[in-house]
Amino acid sequence: MPGAGSATKNAEVGVRRPGATRSGESAPTVDGVRRLNATTGQRLGRTARSVGAAGLVAVVVVLGLVGCSSNNEGGGSDPDAIDDLSSVPPLLTTTTSVNMAEGASAAPPTALAPATVPSLPAAQPSTAASSATGPPVTVAPGASTTPATAAATGVLTTLPTRPPWLGTRVLALRPDGYGEMPPTPPELADRRFATSDFLAPPINDAFVSNIAEIPADVVARSSWRDDCPVSLAELRYVTVSFRGFDGLDHTGELLVNADAAEGFVEVFRRLHESRFPIEEMRVVTADEIDAPPTGDGNNTSVFACRPATGSTTTWSQHAYGRAIDINPFINPYLKGDIVLPELASVYLDRADVRPGMIVAGDVVTKAFADIGWGWGGNWNSLKDWQHFSANGR
C-alpha cells in the first residue's frame, strides 16, 4: 500500500509511514523500520511518436480522405469518417503478443536511468522503435515517447497537465509519523496524467510480456538486499504492456515472486485488453524507501523489501513479491483517519467511479481472483483498495 514520495520524482512511489499495520501479514523478524509502496486511436498515437506533431496532422488528413472515400460510396460526405476509424487500414502491422518464458533468449528492456528515478519531462514525440518480437529498445535518458494528448477512441483530447510541483512538496509529519492529510489539491481530484515512459513503449497495440531473471542493473536500483526474505533466484523481472490514461500503450516493469510471474502476465493481458488505465509501473528504488512524504505517488509496483506497515517484526507480502498496489493514489488505503497517499482523500468516495479506480466485480478484481489473489477492498477493519496479495493479506 502506498503513502507518499520524496521531495523529487520519488514521490511518484507511495510509501508507508511507521505506525500503521496491515492486519494479518506475518513473517520473520526485521531490524528497524523501512517504508515503501512496494485501436484505432492507438495507431494515431504511435504515428505521432515517429513522425512528430506536424506529421500527425498530415496523417489525420490522409486518414480523413481515406475514411471518407471508403465510407462514401454514394458520393456524399460521411461526418463520422474521422471519428470512426474502424475501416481505415492499420498504420502499423499488428504482431502477435510475445510472452517470453523464463530463460528466453531475448534480453529484458533496459531502463532509461538505471541508478536513479526518472524525471517527468514534458511529453513529446520520439522516433524510438523496437523489434516486434524482441524487448523494447532503450529511450535516451530524459526523453519521453508520450504525446501530450490522445484517447483510446481515436479522437485526440487534451489531458490534464501534470502539476510541476508533483512529488516536491514535502508534508509536515503528524505525531504518528504519517504526513499531514489536507484536502486533495484540485489538480489531483480527477487524476489522469499522460505517462512518461521509463522503458521504451511497444511498437503497436499488441500485448507484449517478458519473464526473465533480474538484470544486475535492476537489482542495483531496487530495494532488494541480502536480508530480504526472498533471494534473487526466487524473484523474476516481468515486463508487460499497459494502457495509460493517454490511451497509448507503455511498458511496465515489476519484480514478482517466480511462482506468481505467469499469473501476473495473464492478469495484465486482461487489463490491457479491457483498456484499464495505469499511470506508471516501475520498480521502486532503494533511495525511495526513506523518502519524506509528499502524499501524491501513483506508481504501480510489487516488490518492496520492508516490514508490514507499522511493524518491525513482520515482513510485508510485498517483501516476498507476492503483493501489488495498483494506481495507489486513485485507490488509497484507509484506516480510521489515516489516508495513504495523504493527498488522496477525494478518492475515498468509491461511488464516484473515475478512470483507474478498482471496484468490486470489475476486470481487475476478477482477474486477480482468477489467480487466487485477494483484494484489500474486501477487508473489514480497513480498506486497501489498491492492494492485491497471494494470501489475501
Q: What is the pLDDT of residues 55-96, one digit of tens each?
A: 433 333 333 433 433 333 333 333 333 233 333 333 333 333
Three-state helix/strand/coil letters over the chain: CCCCCCCCHHHHCCCCCCCCCCCCCCCCCCCCCCCCCCCHHHHHHHHHHHHHHHHHHHHHHHHHHHHHHHCCCCCCCCCCCCCCCCCCCCCCCCCCCCEECCCCCCCCCCCCCCCCCCCCCCCCCCCCCCCCCCCCCCCCCCCCCCCCECCCCCCCCECCCCCCCCCCCCCCECCCCCECCCCCCHHHCCCCCCCCCCCCCCCCCCCCEEEECCCHHHHHHCCCCCCCCCCHHHEEEEEEEEECCCCCEEEEEEEEEHHHHHHHHHHHHHHHHCCCECCEECCCCHHHCCCCCCCCCCEEECCCCCECCCCCCCECHHHHCCEEECCCCCCCEEECCEEECCCCHHHHCCCCCCCCCCCCCCHHHHHHHHCCCEEHHHCCCCEECCEEECCCC
State mean pLDDT over 370-385: 97
Q: Give the per-residue pLDDT at 109.
A: 59
- Percentage of residues of the chain with pLDDT beyond 90: 55
- Per-residue pLDDT at 202 exceeds 50: yes
Greatest mean pLDDT range, 2-11, 42-51, 101-110, 303-312: 303-312
Q: Give the per-residue pLDDT at 68.
A: 38
Q: Give the per-residue pLDDT at 264.
A: 97
Instruction: Give the angle subtended at the CA of 8 by the CAs of 7 and 9, to the nearest 5°.
Output: 135
- Per-residue pLDDT at 52 exceeds 50: no
Instruction: For the chain, report the end-to-end CA distance as a whole number of angstroms.
Output: 11
- Per-residue pLDDT at 288 exceeds 80: yes
Greater confidence (29 vs 318) lies with 318
Greater confidence (106 vs 141) lies with 106
Q: Give the per-residue pLDDT at 32.
A: 36
- Per-residue pLDDT at 16 exceeds 90: no
Q: How confident is the model at residue 312 (pLDDT cuts 50, 70, 90)?
A: confident
Q: What is the pLDDT of residues 146-196, one digit of tens each?
A: 443 443 433 336 899 999 999 999 999 999 989 999 999 999 999 999 999
Asked whether the beta carbons of 163 and 185 are under 8 A apart, the reply is: yes
Q: Give the per-residue pLDDT at 48.
A: 41
Considering only 6-15, 96-105, 209-218, 261-270, which range has the smallest mean pLDDT?
Answer: 6-15
- Per-residue pLDDT at 318 exceeds 90: yes
Greater confidence (144 vs 178) lies with 178
- Per-residue pLDDT at 17 exceeds 80: no
Q: Give the per-residue pLDDT at 328.
A: 98
Residue matched to cell numbers 485488453: 273
Q: Give the per-residue pLDDT at 292.
A: 92
Asked whether the beta carbons of 285 and 236 are under 8 A apart, the reply is: no
- Per-residue pLDDT at 2 exceeds 50: no
Q: What is the mean pLDDT of the chain?
A: 73
Q: What is the pLDDT of residues 244-265, one digit of tens each?
A: 999 999 999 999 999 999 999 9
Q: How confident is the model at residue 285 (pLDDT cuts 50, 70, 90)?
A: confident
Q: What is the pLDDT of residues 28-50, one digit of tens each?
A: 433 333 333 443 344 334 444 44
Q: What is the pLDDT of residues 206-229, one digit of tens each?
A: 999 999 999 999 999 999 999 999
Q: Give the per-residue pLDDT at 108.
A: 55
Q: Give the per-residue pLDDT at 238.
A: 98
Q: Give the per-residue pLDDT at 309.
A: 73
State mean pLDDT over 257-276: 98
Greater confidence (142 vs 302) lies with 302
Q: Give the per-residue pLDDT at 383.
A: 97
